[in-house]
Each structure stands twice: as C-alpha cells, then as structure tokens.
Amino acid sequence: MDVVVIGGGPSGLSAAWSAASQGSDVILFEEHEEIGRPRHCAGLVSGEGLKFIGMPCKSEYVENMVDKAIIAVDGFCFELRKIGEPIYVLNREFFDKAMADRAMNRGANILLKSQVKKVEMRNGKYIVKTEGASYSCKIVIDGEGAISRLASTMGLEGPMLRIPALQVEYKVKAPLENEVLVILGNEWAPGFFSWVIPIGDHELRIGLAATSDNCNSLLRRITKRHPLVSKILKEGIVKKIYGGTIVIGPPRRTYIGNFMTVGDAAGQTKPLTGGGVVYGAFCGSLAGIVASKVVEGKADTALYEKIWRKILGLEERLGLLLRETLISDDVGRLLKLVSKIGILSHVERNFHYEYHVRSIIKKPGILILSSLLLNLLSPTKAFKYFLQITLPKRRR
Ligand SMILES: Cc1cc2nc3c(=O)[nH]c(=O)nc-3n(C[C@H](O)[C@H](O)[C@H](O)COP(=O)(O)OP(=O)(O)OC[C@H]3O[C@@H](n4cnc5c(N)ncnc54)[C@H](O)[C@@H]3O)c2cc1C
C-alpha cells in the first residue's frame, strides 16, 4: 500500500481523492458506518471556496443560499452584504458522501466501521492497526478531525484551541430571510459567537461555540432571551440537537517523517469562525499530491507544510490577532468605531468569505489603523499577539 488516510471527513476524502488521482494505491479508514454521519457542522461555505476545492455547486448537497450577514453586538446590528459569489449552506452528510464518491471514482478504497487504533514505524514503513487487522504503507495522512488522537502518538501537537460547540435545528412558523445572524459579545457567547443560519424557508440551524463548559445553558439562554433570536424562534419546534468541537490555530508542525496531519487535526480552519471545510479540503488535496510525489521519490513531506503555510499562513496568523479583538469585551465599542470611520463599508466591498483578513488588509492603511485601534484598546494583548504572529515563523 502507498498511502493510508485516516478519517472520512472533507480533509481525508480530499487527500484520498488527490493521491488516487495521481496514481497512488490508497486506502481510507473511517470509524463510522456511514460517511457524513453523525453531523456536527453548520455547513456555510462560499461559491469561491467550493471552486477552490474542486467541488461543483450541486442541489444534492446545497440546502440554501445566503447573501447577507447581520452582526449583532451590544444592542447594535451591522449588516454585511455579500457582493460577488454567494454563500451556500451545505448538507454536510450529502456533501461528504459526494466527496467519498469522487475519491472512489479515482480508485481510492474506503473502509467503513474501521477505526485506526495505532500507527507504528517498523523498518522504514508505517504499520496502521485497526481492530483485528494491520496494514503496511509508505505514507500516512491523518484527517481524524477535531478530537485527533494519533498525531500526538507520533510526536505532533494538535490545534492551538479546541472550543466546544452545540447546534440545534428548528422548524419555525414565520418565513426566514436569506441572511445569517451572528451574535458577538461575551454576554451571550464568551470566547466565540453564536449563529442562526436559514436552511430553508421555515428551517434553521442555531448554534453556539464558547470557551465555557456550559454551551447548553448558554444556547438555551440565547433562544429564550436574545431579542432577535427569540423573535425568530417564536413557536419553533426543535428537530435535531448535536454537539461538536471547533478548532482554531495550527500547531508548529503538521508533518513528521512521512506522517502528515490535515484539516481540523492540523488546526487548518479560519481563525475568526473556525470554518474548516474549505481549508481542510484544500490542505488534504495538497497532502495527497505531495504523498504521491514522495512515493515516486520526487518530493519530501516538508513540501506539504511549506506550500500550505505559504497560501494560508498569513491568514492564520493575522486571523488569530483579529480573533482576539472579536472576543474581547470591547468588541461592541470597536465595531461602532470602525463603522463610523468607514472600515466596515471597506470590508463589505472587499469581503472574501475564505480570506477574512485579506478583506481587511487589502489597503495597508486599514491594517495600520486596525492595529492602532487594537493597541489603544489593549496594548498588552496587541503585544502578546504580535509575538504570536511572528514567533511560529522563527521557530520553524
Ligand atoms: C458546530 C460546528 C459548526 C461548524 N460550521 C462550519 C461551517 O459553517 N463552515 C465550515 O467550513 N466549517 C464549519 N465547521 C468546521 C468543520 O466542520 C470542520 O472544519 C471540518 O469538518 C473538518 O473536516 P475534517 O475532515 O478535518 O474533520 P471531520 O469532518 O471531523 O472528519 C474526521 C473524520 O475522521 C473520523 N475519525 C476520527 N478518528 C478516526 C480513527 N482513528 N479512525 C478512523 N476514522 C477516524 C471521524 O469519525 C470523522 O468522520 C463547524 C464545526 C462545528 C463543530
């Protein structure tokens, strides 16, 4: 066997697809009995993002389309209208199944109900052990998701932050607009945010992620007491409840020997939202191509890390800095200020759903202004995050 992929989410499935497309012999292990289940994701991705990962926009897995975000903070609302490609709401179960078909059509083998228990190095090859079977291979791509266990046994760190999340699907009476509601502020969702996403005319997902042990009571509080949310959910019926974990921030290394981590296991998400479908699938595809080149003796796994950091590294590092502002107690004050001096309308004009930071720093003046504001609000925080931005690069 050339390549073993662990995990049948978007990252692992993209890795299996690209490695098989390059002619490698690939096997992917997924612990559940079906791809895409259980569900945990809100499913928001942009049209640009889907193109970027080579998945067409199809009605079999696109549930809805949104063109506007309302950001509610401290009793105020800001509106960000999407100009250009729309934002899609995916049914992740069907989307992941389509990704699995894509990988199998290129010759990848997918084994379900097969949890990888252990990975060992023996005589220059990896031995991948599932319940009752062992497989020998040259390269391992680990796409275990947010709760990755195997990477640490190989000596790799996990993502910087793991944030618990909870999501509920509702059926509601009043028809829904094609807009996403984002609730910021530590009063409602400490350390992260809450969201309401329409998945149809009368159905929605409401979710919350917070650096708290009690997402359940925080989400219940929002549904009952938040003025905008309680109005939307009036006489709503709960259809499904599911939990999950959002990861933020990649570790210092995402490969060791011929073992590479991809997707949530490697912290490859957008730091402001934790959205990881597009980044994970992109990095998975890249890892698959590099794996095939390594098998042919034409590349080293270091190439994987070099390329993905070149493309997403700046977004990750500056995103962490901006995230610190969005979760601070001053977020309301700051957003009102930036709205007054025209930064929000600049962001709206340049907004790129996959590259949040680039939407803000397209003009160097805006970056200087934002960092000045951050400095005014909290010089120590700004300094700490300045170090965080610059240090990982030096350590590598
Ligand atoms: C509540 C919530 C809402 C979100 N909303 C969005 C959103 O709107 N947009 C967005 O882009 N992202 C969103 N995300 C993030 C997104 O879901 C992840 O970034 C994405 O699923 C990562 O893909 P992955 O393939 O790395 O991991 P996963 O999708 O988690 O897939 C990993 C797979 O590996 C399997 N596995 C794990 N260990 C083993 C093992 N040892 N052996 C075999 N199989 C194993 C797991 O069962 C799983 O199927 C959300 C996350 C949460 C929790």
What are the C-alpha distances in Å from 43 to residues 93, 171, 200, 278, 376? Answer: 10, 17, 13, 11, 36
Residue keyed to tokens 């012999």: 25
Q: For ligand 1, atom 5, name the residue with the nearest CA.
A: 42
Beta-carbon count within 10 A of 155 CB: 10
Strand partners, 122: 125
Over its length of 396 residues, how does the chain's per-residue pLDDT go in tens digits? Answer: 999 999 999 999 999 999 999 999 999 999 999 999 998 899 999 988 999 899 999 999 999 999 888 989 888 888 887 666 789 999 999 999 999 999 999 999 999 999 999 999 998 899 999 998 999 999 999 999 999 999 999 999 999 999 999 999 999 998 888 999 999 988 899 999 999 999 988 999 999 999 988 999 999 999 999 999 999 998 899 999 999 999 999 999 999 999 999 999 999 999 989 999 999 999 999 999 999 999 999 999 999 999 999 989 888 888 887 787 778 777 777 777 777 766 666 666 666 777 766 666 555 455 455 555 555 555 565 555 455 545 544 443
Specify the CATH superfamily of domain 161-247: D-Amino Acid Oxidase, subunit A, domain 2 (3.30.9.10)
pLDDT the model gives residue 79: 83
Cis peptide before 38 (omega within 30 of 0): yes
Give me the CATH topology for the region 3-64+88-160+251-312: FAD/NAD(P)-binding domain (3.50.50)
User: How are strands ordered across the β-sheet holding 161-171?
Assistant: 76-81, 68-73, 179-183, 193-198, 203-209, 161-171, 237-248
Q: Ligand 1 centre and the CA of 161: distance in Å? A: 15
Q: For ligand 1, atom 25, name the residue with the nearest CA.
A: 9
Handedness of CA 190, 192, 198, 203 (dihedral sign): negative
Beta-carbon count within 10 A of 153 CB: 11
Contact 82, 47 (CB under 8 A): no
pLDDT the model gives residue 193: 92
For 211, which DSSP code?
S
Q: For ligand 1, atom 10, name the residue with the nearest CA.
A: 275
Q: Ligand 1 centre and the CA of 277: distance in Å? A: 8
For 230, which DSSP code?
H
Candidate of 99, 144, 211 to mutate for ligand 1, largest count of ligand atoms within 8 Å of Cβ: 144
Q: Ligand 1 centre and the CA of 65: distance in Å? A: 22
Q: Ligand 1 centre and the CA of 11: distance in Å? A: 8
Find the Cα–Cα–Cα–Cα dihedral 196, 199, 204, 205, rounded to 10°.
-60
Side-chain-side CA neighbours of residue 167 (13 Å):
18
Q: Ligand 1 centre and the CA of 386: distance in Å? A: 30
The residues spanned by each domain of the chain are 3-64+88-160+251-312, 161-247, 313-395
Q: Ligand 1 centre and the CA of 41: distance in Å? A: 7
Contact 138, 7 (CB under 8 A): no
Please list every protein residue whose CB sits less than 6 Å from any atom of ligand 1.
Answer: 6-12, 29-32, 40-45, 115-116, 143-146, 150, 165, 167, 207, 244-246, 263-265, 269, 274-278, 280
Q: Is 91 helix (H, G, I), strand (E, B) or coil?
A: coil
Going by C-alpha positions, the residue among 270, 259, 302, 294 that lies closest to residue 151 is 259
pLDDT the model gives residue 395: 43
d(CA 4, CA 26): 6
Checking DSSP bridges between strand 139-142 and strand 3-6, what pairing results, if any?
A: parallel
**Residue 144: burial class (beta carbons within 10 Å; 0-12, 13-18, 19+):** buried
